[in-house]
Amino acid sequence: MKIAIIGSGHVGLVTGACFADLGNEVLCMDQDLNKIRLLSRGEIPFFEPGLEELVKKNTDKNRLQFTSNMEEAIQFSEIIFLCVGTPPKENGEADLSAIEHVAEAITPFLTEYRLIVEKSTVPVETGLYLHKMIKQNLKRNIKFDIASNPEFLREGSAVRDFFSPDRIVLGVESVRAKKLLLEVYKPFDVPIVITDIQSAEIIKHASNSFLAMKISFINLVSQICSKVGADIERVAEGMGADGRIGKSFLNAGIGFGGSCFPKDLAAFTRICEKLNVPSTLLKEVIEINEIQKINFVNLVRSKLKTVEGKNLAVLGLAFKPDTDDMRSAPAIDILTQLQAEGAKIKAYDPCAIDEAKKHIRDIKFSKNVYDACKGADAVLILTEWREFRDIDLKRLKKTLKDSLIIDGRNLYDPAEMKKNGFKYFSIGRN
Binding segment (CB under 6 A) for ligand UGA, from list 152-160, 278-286, 293-301, 331-339: 152-160
Q: Considering the rule CB under 6 A, would residue 153 count as an interface residue with ligand UGA?
A: yes
Q: Considering the rule CB under 6 A, would residue 376 count as an interface residue with ligand UGA?
A: no
Q: Considering the rule CB under 6 A, would residue 152 count as an interface residue with ligand UGA?
A: yes
State which of positions 97-126 bind ligand UGA (CB under 6 A).
121
Q: How far is CA 333 from CA 169, 223, 249, 274, 360, in A?
A: 35, 19, 22, 30, 9
Q: Considering the rule CB under 6 A, would residue 145 count as an interface residue with ligand UGA?
A: no
Binding mask 278-317 for ligand UGA (x = CB under 6 A): ----------------------------------------
Distance CA 166, CA 114 (A): 28
Task: Choose, by CB under 6 A, the member of 74, 211, 221, 376 that binds ligand UGA.
Answer: 211
Task: Choose, by CB under 6 A, the member of 256, 385, 388, 422 that binds ligand UGA.
Answer: 256
Task: Choose, by CB under 6 A, the member of 26, 203, 250, 300 that binds ligand UGA.
Answer: 250
Contact yes or no for 143/165 (Cβ under 8 A): no
Q: Considering the rule CB under 6 A, would residue 349 count as an interface residue with ligand UGA?
A: no
Task: Choose, by CB under 6 A, the member of 7, 257, 262, 408 that binds ligand UGA.
Answer: 257
C-beta closer to ligand UGA: residue 9 or 127:
9
Shortest Cβ 110–ligand UGA spacing (Å): 28
Active-site hit among 28, 83, 225, 260: 260
C-beta closer to ligand UGA: residue 256 or 388:
256
- Annotated active-site residue 373? The verdict is no
Task: Choose, by CB under 6 A, the member of 73, 232, 260, 317 that binds ligand UGA.
Answer: 260
Non-local CB neighbours of 45 within 8 Å, separated by 6+ positions: 35, 38, 39
The catalytic site residues sit at 260
Which stretches of the chain bind ligand UGA, using CB under 6 A?
121, 151-155, 208, 211, 215, 249-251, 253, 256-258, 260-261, 319-320
